[in-house]
Structure 1
Amino acid sequence: MTTKRDMQDPLQGPFRSLEELADSISDTLQCPITIEDASHRILAYSTHDVNVDEARIATIMRRKVPENVIKTLWKRGIIPQLLESDEPVIIPAIEEVGLGNRVAIAVRKSEEVLGFIWAQVDRNITENEVDLLKRAAQLVKHQKMQLQMKKRKDEQSHREFFWQLLTGHLQDNASIYSSEHYPNMQIDGEISIVVFDFGQDIDQSIERNVRYYVQAAQQMKVVFNAIDDNQMIFLVQPSDAQQPAKQLTAFVRAFVEDISERLEIASITGGVGTLYREPVRIKDSYREALYVLSMKERFPQEISTIYNYQDLGIYQFIDVLYEQRMRTHHRNYFIEKLKQYDETNHTQLLETIEIYLQYDNNINDASKALHVHPNTLNYRLKRISEITEMNLKDPNQKMTLYLDLKIERLK
Structure 2
Amino acid sequence: MQGYLEKALSLTEIHKIIEYVSHTLKRPVILEDDQFFLLSYSSYYINDFDQANQQTILSKKCPVPILEKFIETGIIEQLKSIIIPFRVKKIEEIGLNHRVVTSTKYKNEIMGYMWVQEIDGPLTEEEIEFLHEVSSHIGKILYKRNQVRREKDEKKVLFFHQLLKEQSKNEKQIRQEAELLNIRIPQLLKTIIFMLKDHDEEQFESLKDTVQSYLKVTDCMTEIVIESNKIIVILGERSQKDRIDEQGIELVNRVIKSLEQQNSLIIFAGIGAAYDQLTLLRKSFLESSEVIKAAVFLGTREYLSFEYENLGVYRYIQALAEHNKEVHYVNPKLEKLKQKDNENQTELLKTLEVYLKNNCKSKPTAEQLFIHPNTLNYRLKQIGEYTNIDFSDFNLNCQLFIDLLLMKSEGNK
Q: TM-score, normalised by structure 1?
A: 0.85
1:348: Cα distance to partner? 5.2
Equivalent residues in 2 for 1:171-210, closer than 5 Å: 172-180=170-178, 184-198=182-196, 199-201=199-201, 206=206, 209-210=209-210
1:142: Cα distance to partner? 1.9
1:174: Cα distance to partner? 4.3
1:376: Cα distance to partner? 3.9
1:93 pairs with 2:65:
no
Equivalent residues in 2 for 1:316-355, closer than 5 Å: 316-332=315-331, 334-335=333-334, 338=337, 349-355=348-354
CA contact (8 A) 2:30 2:40 kept: yes
- SS of the equivalent of 2:6 reads coil
1:194: Cα distance to partner? 0.8
User: Aligned equivalents of 2:388 and 2:180: distance in 1?
Assistant: 61
Q: Could you say which residue in structure 2 is the equivalent of 1:33?
A: 29
User: Aligned equivalents of 1:201 and 1:400: distance in 2?
Assistant: 39
For this pair of structures, how many residues does the alignment match? 405
Equivalent residues in 2 for 1:229-378, closer than 5 Å: 229-238=228-237, 240-261=240-261, 264=263, 266-299=265-298, 303=302, 306-332=305-331, 334-335=333-334, 338=337, 349-370=348-369, 372-378=371-377
Q: Could you say which residue in structure 2 is the equivalent of 1:144?
A: 142
Q: TM-score, normalised by structure 2?
A: 0.84
% same residue:
25
Gaps of 5+ in 1: none
- SS of the equivalent of 1:10 reads helix
Q: Could you say which residue in structure 2 is the equivalent of 1:24?
A: 20
Cα separation, partners in 2 of 1:112 and 1:339, compared to 1, 3 Å: same
Q: Could you say which residue in structure 2 is the equivalent of 1:64?
A: 61
1:331: Cα distance to partner? 4.4
CA contact (8 A) 2:21 2:29 kept: yes
1:260: Cα distance to partner? 4.1
1:225: Cα distance to partner? 1.2
CA contact (8 A) 1:10 1:28 kept: no
CA RMSD, 1 decimal: 3.2
1:105: Cα distance to partner? 1.2
User: Aligned equivalents of 2:385 and 2:264: distance in 1?
Assistant: 48
Range 23-32 or range 64-73, more displaced: 64-73
1:161: Cα distance to partner? 2.6
The AA in structure 2 aligned to 1:35 is: L
Correspondent of 1:105 among 95, 102, 105: 102
- SS of the equivalent of 1:317 reads helix
1:209: Cα distance to partner? 3.1
Range 362-371 or range 336-345, more displaced: 336-345
CA contact (8 A) 1:112 1:208 kept: no
The AA in structure 1 aligned to 2:22 is: S
Cα separation, partners in 2 of 1:384 and 1:235, compared to 1, 3 Å: same
1:318: Cα distance to partner? 1.5
Gaps of 5+ in 2: none
**How far does the alpha carbon of each residue in 1:277-303 deviate from its partner, in whole angstroms, 9 at most, with x for none?**
222222222222222223223446663
1:404: Cα distance to partner? 2.5
Cα separation, partners in 2 of 1:291 and 1:204, compared to 1, 3 Å: closer
The AA in structure 2 aligned to 1:206 is: S
Cα separation, partners in 2 of 1:345 and 1:171, compared to 1, 3 Å: farther
The AA in structure 2 aligned to 1:244 is: I
User: Aligned equivalents of 2:361 and 2:165: distance in 1?
Assistant: 43
